[in-house]
Amino acid sequence: MEDAFRLTPDNYVHVLAAESYRPFACRAKTKEELEAWQRDFRPYLWKLLGLNRIAARCSADPQAQQVGVEELNDHIREEWKLETEPGFWVPFYLLRPKSQDGPVPLVITPHGHGKAAKKTYVGIWETEEERESIEGGERDVALQAVREGYVAIAPDMRGFADLRRQPEIEKDANNSCRTMQMHAFMFGRTLIGERVWDVMRLIDYAKTRPEIDATRVAVTGNSGGGTVSLFAGACDERITVCAPSSYFCTFEHSIGSIRHCECNYVPGLMAVAEMYDVASLVAPRAFLAVAGRTDPIFPYEATKMAFEKVKEAYTVAGVSERCELYTGDGGHRYYKAGVWPFMRRWLTQS
């Protein structure tokens, strides 16, 4: 047996990836085959993420409580919390333009790793260093969205900020991802699934707000926020535009090859599909992959290859123009120059 095909701790992922048939790979050649494949794969993905188990313990209508409101120069910033599961409350900011005239589209902005969590995405900073980090990496995604004329919702993701476990809060640790993921595994759930569920409940809540056109919903976030954006777009067909940043790649060459936080993993997923198959569930809705050319943890060459696979699905669906890759000349960060023109085309005019 050639060394390249010997199963070792170092080439484990690549050997098994080469051997796996992947029953839920997208092999559709016609629009009808694509739709049939999506009808089969989407509920299976729900099961892998644990969404069915989460949904089974939840009522139809989530409860919301307002915490505060602040009027700023060009928008209103409301602070809320939403009961996404019985007894589990997710804090979020809702930003709405001051000049709003009638219902406008919604942009949900899940964040990635960091203790500041949703505060970063609405442009709240406490030190000059934080301000420079937010501005330099264009991390104030929700603030960008409201200044584009959309309502923006910036939630805390489970495992961060106030949604860390108390031991990590007391130690001022960045996150509680590892322990919360292991606990989720024991109940047939995943941390990705729980975060996606919270996004889905926020869409349920958005339908109660007269300022929001809940038929036009986008989701976009960076890094771990890109993870949630991709899986939410794949799982919830109410999402009109899906724009993950600094995440879309292949599982084999990113999550499977480079050290990542435990919250990135879904048991059994690589045995049945690759990341480009998950992304193909978004078709025919608009999909934008945002990548940094020198991102060290989501290699760009693999991102380009994965994008071509998704583009094939969109071509089969007859809407290749709704699928784009924007490449920023930098590393692991958000690139607003590629996002908002795409949103204007497919969210504002959809």
Task: Give the three-class secondary structure for 34.
Answer: helix
Q: What is the pLDDT of residues 96-125, one digit of tens each?
A: 999 888 999 999 999 999 877 899 999 998
Q: What is the rounded CA–CA span in Å between residue 70 and residue 146?
A: 14
Q: Which fold has domain 3-348?
A: Rossmann fold (3.40.50)
Cβ proximity of 93 and 154 under 8 Å: yes
Hey, what are 241's tokens?
């535009």
The reported pLDDT for the residue numbered 1 is 44
Question: Who contacts 36 (Cβ-Cβ below 8 Å, separation ≥6)?
Answer: 28
Q: What is the rounded CA–CA span in Å between residue 175 and residue 157?
A: 10
The reported pLDDT for the residue numbered 114 is 81
The reported pLDDT for the residue numbered 350 is 57
How far are the Cα atoms of 125, 135, 319 from residue 323, in angstroms, in the given order? 34, 28, 8
pLDDT (tens, 9 = 90+) of the chain, 350 residues, equals 456 578 899 899 999 999 999 999 999 999 999 999 999 999 999 999 999 999 999 987 889 999 999 999 999 999 999 999 999 999 999 999 998 889 999 999 999 998 778 999 999 988 888 888 888 889 999 999 999 999 999 999 999 999 999 999 999 999 999 999 999 999 999 999 999 999 999 999 999 999 999 999 999 999 999 999 999 999 999 999 999 999 999 999 999 999 999 999 999 999 999 999 999 999 999 999 999 999 999 999 999 999 999 999 999 999 999 999 999 999 999 999 999 999 999 998 75
The reported pLDDT for the residue numbered 133 is 86
The reported pLDDT for the residue numbered 324 is 98
How far are the Cα atoms of 60, 107, 313, 343 from residue 205, in angstroms, in the given order? 11, 13, 31, 22
Cis peptide before 284 (omega within 30 of 0): yes
The reported pLDDT for the residue numbered 182 is 98
Chain center to CA of 272: 20
Q: What is the rounded CA–CA span in Å between residue 134 and residue 98?
A: 23
